[in-house]
Structure 1
């Protein structure tokens, strides 16, 4: 989760930070002295706009970055540390609104310039980001396998163009396991902030031209805030990834900070009032850090808690607060941008080496984060900002543009060359590339929307079996076809698969609205298929009933429902799920042979990556799942299948003898992965099941050609 608070300074605004020079790695900051508005107001807070340096904001930045860093490193007690990004968004909106409004209110020439505003932001953000991207691309050449290097190249391109939030939105959710494999995932918030920076000055300047004054600006920003907040609250439950990554559902957090700036100097608050506002604000922030976790729907209404806390602290504006003024917090706040840039790649490196739970290495990673953040601040961030401020606008723009294009060009070239093969031992590269060894007709044959299957056929012209199911069915249909051809060369297999859709009548899937319609369509379509053609049903039932188990962690959130939704897989829900499995299988078995396939072992980790990545540093990792863990997760499905067998004459196909020993199930054999990810068999792995599927074809009769069945 990238976090960035722009605090670039200049003569044009009194609000921005005037970052002081540091002579030692932990030397305290000297804070600009505060001056009371007059001698009679010694008990009142100083006007927010009369201070050039807000040490309370600098300390608040430290709170935010510490929370996020410790959350990402998995430190106990920081389960909701991701709220740091919401804190930064609110602070950023406060400061940026102040820059624009103060610039417009100044009468001296040349006044506020939108282009100067953009350039100031670019001077602050781009140099350290470009250096990070170049470092990762160079290090990736030495350490990353082709598929990983290809992904890094593409992400570098999107990052420097501030479009990474849109890219990551399309790839996976922020809290998904795959996110910990993306070296530049944290740049998503840089993209959100930059997009906000592009629009904010244009909006405020337009309002100012129509109706000068803060009142009009406040009205428009407040209206925009309520619209964005409403959109966030309504979108988070239905499309959480979009709500998390995209500007329209995040803008309200920055607008909240902007409104606080517009309101702050209209109120004169006593020191006592400010003390309580700040205490409440930090109470909300601490409560968010402790009380929320990755299972909390985010942002939605929950993000109001840390954002409100941040706004109260901004409103209190207490420069001498014990919450924010200690020298170590000022040191951290000043370097928060660089610290944040460097912390996430270290987290990903630990994940790649499968050492994310090694306490000693985690502590080392945190210390390395602080060290690299300090170096980045002193060697890149601060010097580049000063240099680019001294040279002309055109030279500064050219320098930033060329450096951006350099990174983009490198990233595009790496992606175009498929991550540049040949840098590692071919056997090692082949392990990682098992990820690509999937059904070549996947995009053509598996449904992701609608409900009528394209009815793809594999093999010859004589239909011998129909495979119905989800992506697990799609992943092994070629093995079914190979089994049919081995029995009779002209055999054909038809595929009816729907991604993330269990073959259960009456099912309601949160991710696939037409899943139930697909199951009804398939059952109705079978009426036109000769009754001697068997049906093989393959599903990843545990995922729908119990939730995902990536990294061997159970999410405990059912993904489907029948009579009513359940928040957890309660006994009543599992009974209902099992009964629908039995009823659906028996319905199909009334007129034809039906085979239910036992659940495939879910390895809980991406097998090709988990094998190949540690091998790049000389560590060989064996990927397996113990039988006890398999049965703990899958036994309720076995029981339901057994009931269907006894009740309706359904036959059971068990893959465990082919994928497991008596004690464990294997993620690989002969040092080659059997899986293309954590739960789908690859085209290589599924061939181990050909002997199992041959049973389906042994006693089958000749059926009409597929031409008459499509």
Structure 2
């Protein structure tokens, strides 16, 4: 196959924005689409190789897979090996357990499925996963396994018919991606069936150019470059992806491959700098994520942007070394014969495969090897989610389920229900506390909730799984139940900032709207929140029910487990806990909008009561816990220990003990 320098330049154009996007350059909001450019390039190159060799009747499936192994494995295994000591030294058990699982998944090229199940690609937790970026390698390897087999089976149909069949499959994949990105966005982002159309787009370009000279069209190649550059700055993580938005970088890449020959675009991409970066782009891609992730793990706080940029640049230096001393030796050949034989390659790779699988199984089975740290056993046990309501009602389909809530308290002898408690995941983790408080006060309550659902009437969760978790319908059902059973009090519990102002950095939103088709943005979420609050209070006032809004618990800035492990590695645990726990003033500032809104609304509606938990958890700092027990299992959800802290608050809300 004829070498095209501009393709290596195109690789550079793909890898640079990916690396600096992960480094935290906010203005490069669509830098992640560099991966989509890689997919198209891979589809084009692999298909071109297969077509050329198949037409000459010298295509070997074994040789094809061997070449892929030489290209992928040596550099990948080197990077994974370098991750091991840093993970051992710096990662807390939960992180190390996830890392251990990723060692196995990467080895078998199924890490895309693992990361789909663990977290979303754009979540804060994902930034601390050193091998997160290998999801794209897994997608490509799965494609490399299946696509040659498809070509061999379909070859008798002829190239034209095969290209038609590929186009049909690509269209089906694109339609599936568009649908799944709105219903299961994390799955859609990671899996091959929704990414195949991008690789197949490159394959179709290869079919079109096969036995043809590259085409020169300065207008179409310029358009392609414009589309790629525009996607780096106009696309962002809140858009469904992959979807029709992904057509922008995919189409741009196809246009450059098809029409850039002998144009100014090809000349720019063929510059020595771009070609050089393109040649080492694979190794640069491998190195950048571990460097950035371990910086975040080590420092706990968000690393300075200058440090992250420096690490991004370091990834290119390491890439050049890796390309020279690892990639090239394994791929170098003379007269078609590799200098490093197939058997030598196998002997080199097998020990690493066994090592990664063995260490991965050990870290998974041993729960991240907590014995690496000298931490009290009582503390380790306290990193548990608060008991939740899954034991008493069926989730996650409350709009169709017959069992959508449960009675708590003195249910055996109760003739009436004293209170309804309803909310999102902040309520669910307090199930044990509400249950105990109801028993302590001899009262009877009805308990219902679902995660990421604003407990206000007239509000739609703008989530892809809206049909499965329809809180709009559940809110109506709760009100009707309160009305029909003449319940005098309803207590609403939620992470209110999640739907209004986000987290401490203004991120972490779950968008809501007054209709299910409302545009997802903060302004519309706040409007829906304010309207839903009033509608809810007035609706309950109309049936004579008092509404109590329980303010959310203080949200920590860092994962509690990380705080404690770093505190116990310091000279003074108490001082470290105070320093790393969120300040009371920070908590109050983040809650300022909701607090003011609730207080202003309370002046207008006598049936509204507000309960604040700040004094329960805060002095000058809102401590993450005691020296030996954590109040939280993540940044904002209470652990069992934390939930027990609010039993007295709940008893005050629901009534005085009866005789």
TM-score class, shorter-chain normalisation, is 0.7 to 0.9
> Within the alignment, does 1:234 sit opposite 2:188 as a pair?
no
How many Å separate the matches in 1 of 2:273 and 2:32?
Answer: 21
Residue 455 of structure 1 is matched in structure 2 by: 406
Deviation of residue 116 (structure 1)? 2.0
Residues 465-614 of structure 1 aligned to structure 2 (within 5 Å): 466-484=420-438, 487-488=440-441, 495-511=447-463, 512-513=466-467, 514-526=470-482, 531=487, 535-544=490-499, 546=500, 548-549=502-503, 552-554=505-507, 558-562=511-515, 565-568=518-521, 569-570=523-524, 572-586=527-541, 590=544, 594-610=547-563, 612=565
Which of 252, 257, 267 is the matching residue for 2:197?
A: 252
Which of 235, 244, 247 is the matching residue for 1:301?
A: 244
Gaps of 5+ in 2: none
Post-superposition Cα deviations, 1:147-174, rounded to whole Å, max 9, x if no partner, equal 1111100111111111111121222221
Post-superposition Cα deviations, 1:617-652, rounded to whole Å, max 9, x if no partner, equal 889452315547645655346535764686353433
Residue 675 of structure 1 is matched in structure 2 by: 632
Mapped contact 2:443–2:655 kept (Cα < 8 A): no
How many Å separate the matches in 1 of 2:237 and 2:173?
Answer: 22
Post-superposition Cα deviations, 1:348-375, rounded to whole Å, max 9, x if no partner, equal 1222214544134223312331232233
Deviation of residue 689 (structure 1)? 2.2
Which of 43, 61, 72 is the matching residue for 2:22?
A: 72
> Within the alignment, does 1:419 sit opposite 2:368 as a pair?
yes
Mapped contact 1:503–1:584 kept (Cα < 8 A): no
Residue 353 of structure 2 is matched in structure 1 by: 404
- Does the C-alpha gap of structure 1 residues 629 and 102 become closer, same or farther in structure 2, counting only changes over 3 Å? same
Secondary structure of the residue aligned to 1:502 is coil
Q: How many residues align?
A: 636
Deviation of residue 473 (structure 1)? 1.0
Post-superposition Cα deviations, 1:595-638, rounded to whole Å, max 9, x if no partner, equal 33123333454343355458758894523155476456553465
How many Å separate the matches in 2 of 1:492 and 1:134?
Answer: 57
How many Å separate the matches in 2 of 1:472 and 1:414?
Answer: 30
| Higher mean displacement: 90-99 or 58-67 | 58-67
Q: How big is the alpha-carbon RMSD for the aligned residues of Structure 1 and Structure 2?
A: 3.4
How many Å separate the matches in 1 of 2:413 and 2:90?
Answer: 50
Residues 88-237 of structure 1 aligned to structure 2 (within 5 Å): 88-107=38-57, 111-209=58-156, 211-212=157-158, 214-237=159-182
How many Å separate the matches in 1 of 2:501 and 2:549?
Answer: 21
| Higher mean displacement: 234-243 or 282-291 | 234-243
How many Å separate the matches in 2 of 1:691 and 1:74?
Answer: 43
Post-superposition Cα deviations, 1:519-568, rounded to whole Å, max 9, x if no partner, equal 34434445686857x54321223323x2743x622366623434862433
Secondary structure of the residue aligned to 1:258 is helix
Residue 283 of structure 1 is matched in structure 2 by: 226
Residue 635 of structure 1 is matched in structure 2 by: 593
Deviation of residue 65 (structure 1)? 1.1
Deviation of residue 386 (structure 1)? 4.7
Mapped contact 1:143–1:616 kept (Cα < 8 A): no
How many Å separate the matches in 2 of 1:84 and 1:432?
Answer: 40
Residue 323 of structure 1 is matched in structure 2 by: 268
Secondary structure of the residue aligned to 1:573 is helix
| Higher mean displacement: 156-165 or 308-317 | 308-317
- Does the C-alpha gap of structure 1 residues 355 and 547 become closer, same or farther in structure 2, counting only changes over 3 Å? closer
Deviation of residue 655 (structure 1)? 1.1
Mapped contact 1:147–1:432 kept (Cα < 8 A): no
> Within the alignment, does 1:314 sit opposite 2:260 as a pair?
no
Secondary structure of the residue aligned to 1:426 is coil
> Within the alignment, does 1:261 sit opposite 2:261 as a pair?
no
Mapped contact 2:220–2:256 kept (Cα < 8 A): yes
How many Å separate the matches in 2 of 1:113 and 1:460?
Answer: 71
Residue 382 of structure 1 is matched in structure 2 by: 328
Which of 356, 365, 377 is the matching residue for 2:311?
A: 365
How many Å separate the matches in 1 of 2:312 and 2:358?
Answer: 32
Secondary structure of the residue aligned to 1:256 is helix
- Does the C-alpha gap of structure 1 residues 347 and 318 become closer, same or farther in structure 2, counting only changes over 3 Å? farther
Q: Name the TM-score, length of structure 1 as normaliser.
A: 0.80
Mapped contact 1:586–1:644 kept (Cα < 8 A): no
Q: Name the TM-score, length of structure 2 as normaliser.
A: 0.86
Residue 32 of structure 1 is matched in structure 2 by: none
| Higher mean displacement: 440-449 or 137-146 | 440-449
Deviation of residue 64 (structure 1)? 1.1
- Does the C-alpha gap of structure 1 residues 483 and 454 become closer, same or farther in structure 2, counting only changes over 3 Å? closer
How many Å separate the matches in 2 of 1:432 and 1:357?
Answer: 27
Mapped contact 2:110–2:135 kept (Cα < 8 A): yes
Mapped contact 1:446–1:471 kept (Cα < 8 A): no
